[in-house]
Amino acid sequence: MRKTIIVSNRLPVKISEKNGEFTLQSSEGGLATGLGSIYREGNNIWIGWPGLEIEDPKQQEKVTKQLRQMNLMPVFLTQEEINNFYEGFSNETLWPVFHYMGVYARYEQSYWDAYHQVNQKFRDIVLQIAGPGDIIWVHDYQLLLLPGMIRTEMPEISVGFFQHIPFPSYELFRLIPWRAEILEGMLGADLMGFHTFDDTRHFLNAASRLLPVNTTANVVSYNDRAVVVETFPMGIDYDKFASLGNNPEVQEHLKTLRENFREERLVLSIDRLDYSKGIIQRLQAFELLLQLHPEYISRVVLYMIVVPSRDTVPQYKELRDDIDKLVGNINARFRTLSWHPIQYFYRSFPVEMLSALYNFADICLVTPMRDGMNLVSKEYVASRNNNDGVLILSEMAGASKELSDAIIVNPNNLGAITRAITDALNMPLPEQQRRMRQMRQVVSKFNIHHWVKLFMTRLAEVNEMQQNMLAR
């Protein structure tokens, strides 16, 4: 029977181990929810790294059995592979270049070799499972070589690829020593998707300048195949965030927030620890606000959650220290006996707490330097059932293309962010509602289920087109 195979770096599961026994818990991330309707069906399957280093073959066998019951298939990685493929090439080479931070990038041959080798490891597992007529959907920048590797072995199989982070302009992309190999790998797909038109255009431009291809509109002709490159802005599980507000646990958190912030307006900021998210600049803009507008002292609080991430990579460690320092300075400089300007948390919270914060915050401040999409901004919008609240959103986030009723800012312009905060604090309720209603319509219609359906339908159409071309 024909099956669908999802492949991503991480499996949608949290595994913990105690005395040789494994506990598995499905993760509730947006992508996992959206693809849940696919990989849980019939003999479909999701292939990826389970997120835990397991060396003993017996233990590997045991956990594989447990995962297979959930339609998941593990790719086990050694510590060295994690260091060089994941932290190395994926996060110290591709991530900075693709987020326009070329100065942070390291071009190490050993990283590239590991990246190639781990993509082959993924390919081997895919080949164990895939049969003629199956559909394979590969996700994200850790697996850019995989579509090409699968294509070499199974020339007729249907392969889709979606990139969750930006695709940079040619001038950035060309910096990577292995740029042609990367493009060739990606062009193994039949259908390639990006969040925005700019990313799509940048990819097409890079392909036509670096490879002997023919590009017309959104089709790249390469090796006698036509690869379709299109824009699919990813959505969120709108219904989940819109209804979470009624959950008793969320209500409980809301009550506490109301008691703790009687007098103050709340500005919310939520990100993974990452230099692409503009956390330092956001803090500087908030500092400028307190400096220029002392009337907000004791009246506004920045509630900042930074979720630990990649903290073994040197730049991330440094960033964490810089944030600690800056938060300390601002709090020391402006605090009063009863008020702290910044409530800073370096940890993750359960989704119920997130929902309470989305419901409670007057403003959600999302100012990444670059972001493929940014789901936090969409989750805030989906949570605002009363249609009030203001979203301040960076023009460098993919989401800004859809959420044009946010206050859109250039994240490098601290003065503009500061003005946006004062505008938001003073925005009349009818204007908040007009903007929020528009944004809620977009987020509710173009939700995660819509996104999955659109991509899969398009992949089937493209596959049919390929078959017809081959038959000719």
Choosing from 165, 191, 409, 443, the residue that interacts with ligand GDG (CB under 6 A) is 165
Piece of the chain touching ligand GDG by CB under 6 A; list 114-122, 123-131, 375-383, 422-430: 375-383
Piece of the chain touching ligand GDG by CB under 6 A; list 74-82, 216-224, 371-379, 436-444: 371-379
Query: With binding defined as CB under 6 A, does residue 234 bind ligand GDG?
Result: yes
Closest CB to ligand GDG among 33 and 432? Answer: 33
Q: How far is Cα 433 from Cα 451, in angstroms, rounded to an integer?
A: 26
SS (H, E, C) 282-326: HHHHHHHHHHHCHHHCCCEEEEEEEECCCCCCHHHHHHHHHHHHH
Query: With binding defined as CB under 6 A, does residue 126 bind ligand GDG?
Result: no
Choosing from 351, 396, 417, 448, the residue that interacts with ligand GDG (CB under 6 A) is 351
Choosing from 14, 201, 265, 272, the residue that interacts with ligand GDG (CB under 6 A) is 272
Piece of the chain touching ligand GDG by CB under 6 A; list 69-77, 114-122, 349-357, 452-460: 349-357
Residue 264, by phi and psi: left (phi above 0), alpha (psi -120 to 50) or beta? beta
Closest CB to ligand GDG among 190 and 371? Answer: 371
Closest CA to 351 of 397, 382, 327: 382
Query: With binding defined as CB under 6 A, does residue 349 bind ligand GDG?
Result: yes
CA angle 434, 388, 405 (to 5 degrees): 45
Q: How far is Cα 468 from Cα 13, in angstroms, rounded to an integer?
A: 39
Backbone angles phi, psi at 38, to 5 degrees: -95, -60
State both tokens at 21: 């026994």
Interacting positions 24-53 with ligand GDG (CB under 6 A): 30
Closest CB to ligand GDG among 30 and 168? Answer: 30
- The least CB distance from residue 45 to ligand GDG, in Å, is 21
State the burial class of residue 63 (Cβ atoms within 10 Å of its Cβ: 0-12, 13-18, 19+).
buried
Query: With binding defined as CB under 6 A, does residue 372 bind ligand GDG?
Result: yes
Q: Detail the DSSP E strand segments found in 158-317.
A: 158-162, 191-194, 214-216, 219-222, 225-231, 265-272, 300-307
Piece of the chain touching ligand GDG by CB under 6 A; list 52-60, 146-154, 255-263, 365-373: 365-373
What are the angstrom distances between the C-alpha of 222 and each of 150, 190, 227, 356?
16, 11, 7, 50
Closest CB to ligand GDG among 197 and 339? Answer: 197
Binding mask 295-334 for ligand GDG (x = CB under 6 A): ----------x-x---------------------------
SS3 at position 396: coil
How many H-runs (helices) and E-runs (strands) does the chain carry? 18, 17
Query: With binding defined as CB under 6 A, does residue 244 bind ligand GDG?
Result: no
Binding residues for ligand GDG, per CB under 6 A? 30, 164-165, 234, 270, 272, 305, 307, 348-351, 354, 371-376, 379
